[in-house]
Every structure is written in C-alpha cells, then in structure tokens.
C-alpha cells in the first residue's frame, strides 16, 4: 500500500506539489467520455513521476432514481466510459450510488482555528422532501443491482475496477431515502454481494463508515478487516472523525476516535495493495490554495500525506521486526 491523492489536477504545479510530499499515485475527476483527455492526463502525470490510477465518474439521476427509458441510455454511456478507462490504462473508476447525496450541517471548529465539516442530525431538515420520493432499502438495492448487472461484465472485459463510495452520512433515512450503508456492516456486505466479481468493490471511506457507528473506535476495525480480507477494497479514504452516529465532526487524522495506526496495521496484515489517501482536509483562512489549482494544494493536505506515509513506514517496520 502507498499514499495517494484524490481529486487533484494534472498541471505541473499540482503534480510537483504531490511529488514534493512523497505522493506518486492519484485519482482525479475528468470527462470519462473523452478518451484523448484520459490518455493525455495519464501522460502528464507520468511526466512528473505520478501514476494516475483512477478517476471519479458521475452516476446520472436516471440510474439512482430508476427513470426509464433514460436509465438504459445512461448505462450504455457508462459502459463506454469503462471501455475508455481500460484503453487508457486506468486501474479503476470511483463512483457514488445514492439518491440524496452528500449532506452536512453547519461547521464546527477545532485546534488552531481549524474549520471542521460536521453533521448533527438534530439540526438537519429531514422533513424536506427529496424529488426522488420515498426509497426503501430493498428498492435502493434493486436499483444498485440493476446498475451493477449491466456494467460489471464490461468492467471484467476491460479489467477496470468499479469502486463504490459509501453514501455520506450513513443514516437510517434521509429525506425519504433509506441509506444502503446503514447499518454499516450489514449494508456493505449486502452491497458487496449484489454481483460476484473481483471488479466490484469499494472506494472505502473510513470516515463515512465510522460516521454510522455508535462506537467507531471499537466497531470500525473488524469491518475494515472483513472487507479487506475479501479483496473488496480498491481505494481507501483515510479519514477520522470524533463522535458517533448522527453527531460527528471530521477532525485531523491524529485526533479522532478511531486509531488510524490500527487501521493501517489491518490493511498491511490483509495485504491491501492500493492507495491510502486523505479524504477531506480541515479549512483555515491562512491555508488557501493558489489561484488556478486544486484545493488539494494546501498545508492541510500536506500534513495528511506525511501522516499517512509515516504510518505506512511504521507498520512496514513493525511487520519486518515481527517476522525476523
């Protein structure tokens, strides 16, 4: 395993920022329909010593809302994106499958004036209807299965991993949608078993999984071990939180309720072979990205790169000592 970065561009400025901080693997968000751009972006990254492994793809609402006949047309398009990714040499595609999408409440603050992303269900307007209406657990899984049964055979043909992020935050129900990843373990297990394929797995966000638990420090490690042992994790968002289900803040990785060293040990022990990457970084007015580049070009991301690299070195050394 090795440190990576998500959502950064392939300008020389951005790539050199990565390499200066010991990061030589990445994913990004670019048009999956543009094969020439995919190939060019990989070449630009490689010229600076960085491997562009994956990209993020959007899942059209026609698919998550089961809007026919547009759903099948959009599935055809995604199959074309998978083919492009394979031809361009990408390892995988990251995606999100949910109706309501990412949700947060007002920010909270921490050390040194850091601004933390936050969720307090008691402050959320859960009565506001969503245009998708009521979507129960069986229905969201049926929609996911319809999607996967169509795209996974294409992924297998072109050897492209499809990695699902977890709906953020997990909750029993948000604005009519029963989240498929709550309860966390049961939801992830059911999703992972919708199709049987080595190309179907997770963009596993440690932070999101922790958000759906009553005691993240105790409950998260065995969940990580279960899915990593079964080779269902294709990318890791290495994020920590303080709090629990329906009341948490995203904090710096070294100060949350989850022992990130323990998670790194699990990933090493289960032979996880891919990227560990920061997910989000706390904000501060003194830590702003230069104009014209990704918001990843900040101190907050540099700190997390170093933190992850140090943990990887530590668990590698621990394993070496125990085997000698």
pLDDT digits (tens, 9 = 90+) for 255-274: 999 999 999 999 999 999 99
What is the residue-averaged pLDDT of the chain?
A: 97
Q: What is the pLDDT of residue 100?
A: 95
Residue 129 in this model has a pLDDT that exceeds 90: no
Q: What is the pLDDT of residue 263?
A: 98
Tokens coding 299: 């101190």
- Three-state secondary structure of 177-209: ECCCCCCHHHHHHHHHCCCCCCCEEEEEEHHHH
Report, as an integer, the average pLDDT of 122-129. 94
Tokens coding 237: 């968002």
Please tell me the distance from the alpha carbon of residue 297 to that of residue 290, in angstroms, as a whole number. 7
Q: Tens digit of pLDDT for each residue in 90-107?
A: 999 999 999 999 999 999
Report, as an integer, the average pLDDT of 141-162. 98
Q: What is the pLDDT of residue 72?
A: 98
Please tell me the distance from the alpha carbon of residue 295 to that of residue 117, in angstroms, as a whole number. 15
Residue 302 in this model has a pLDDT that exceeds 90: yes
Q: What is the pLDDT of residue 154?
A: 98
Residues 164, 96 contacting (CB under 8 angstroms) = yes
Residue 323 in this model has a pLDDT that exceeds 80: no
Residue 222 in this model has a pLDDT that exceeds 90: yes
Residue 324 in this model has a pLDDT that exceeds 80: no
Residue 146 in this model has a pLDDT that exceeds 90: yes
Backbone CA torsion sign across 27, 31, 36, 40: negative
With a pLDDT cut of 90, the percent of the chain lying above it is 98
Residues 214, 247 contacting (CB under 8 angstroms) = no
3-state secondary structure of 250: strand
Report, as an integer, the average pLDDT of 117-133. 94
Residues 38, 73 contacting (CB under 8 angstroms) = no
Domains of the chain plus CATH, in order, are 2-323 (3.20.20.150)
Report, as an integer, the average pLDDT of 293-322. 96
Residue 321's pLDDT band (boundaries 50, 70, 90)? confident
Q: What is the pLDDT of residue 322?
A: 81
């Amino acid at each position: 395993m090795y440190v990576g970065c998500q959502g950064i561009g392939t300008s020389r400025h951005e790539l050199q920022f990565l390499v200066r901080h010991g990061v030589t693997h990445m994913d990004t968000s670019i048009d999956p329909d543009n094969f020439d751009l995919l190939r060019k972006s990989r070449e630009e990254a490689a010229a600076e010593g960085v491997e562009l492994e994956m990209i993020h793809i959007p899942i059209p609402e026609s698919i998550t809302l089961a809007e026919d006949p547009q759903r099948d047309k959009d599935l055809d398009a995604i199959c074309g994106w998978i083919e492009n990714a394979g031809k361009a040499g990408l390892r995988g595609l990251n995606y999100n499958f949910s109706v309501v999408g990412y949700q947060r409440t007002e920010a909270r603050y921490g050390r040194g004036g850091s601004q933390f992303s936050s969720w307090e269900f008691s402050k959320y307007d859960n009565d506001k209807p969503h245009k998708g209406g009521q979507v129960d657990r069986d229905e969201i899984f049926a929609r996911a299965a319809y999607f996967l049964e169509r795209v996974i055979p294409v992924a297998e043909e072109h050897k492209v991993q499809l990695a699902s992020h977890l709906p953020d935050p997990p909750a029993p129900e948000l604005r009519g949608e029963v989240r498929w990843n709550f309860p966390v373990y049961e939801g992830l297990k059911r999703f992972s078993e919708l199709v049987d394929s080595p190309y179907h797995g997770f963009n596993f966000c440690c932070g999101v999984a922790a958000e759906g638990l009553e005691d993240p420090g105790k409950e998260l490690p065995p969940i990580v071990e279960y899915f990593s042992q079964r080779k269902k994790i294709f990318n890791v968002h290495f994020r920590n939180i303080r709090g629990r289900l329906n009341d948490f803040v995203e904090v710096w990785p070294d100060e949350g309720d989850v022992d990130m060293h323990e998670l790194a040990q699990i990933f090493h022990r289960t032979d996880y072979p891919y990227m560990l990457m920061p997910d989000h970084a706390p904000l501060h007015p003194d830590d702003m990205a230069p104009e014209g580049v990704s918001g990843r070009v900040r101190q907050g991301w540099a700190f997390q790169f170093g933190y992850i690299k140090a943990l990887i070195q530590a668990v590698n050394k621990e394993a070496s000592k125990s085997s000698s």
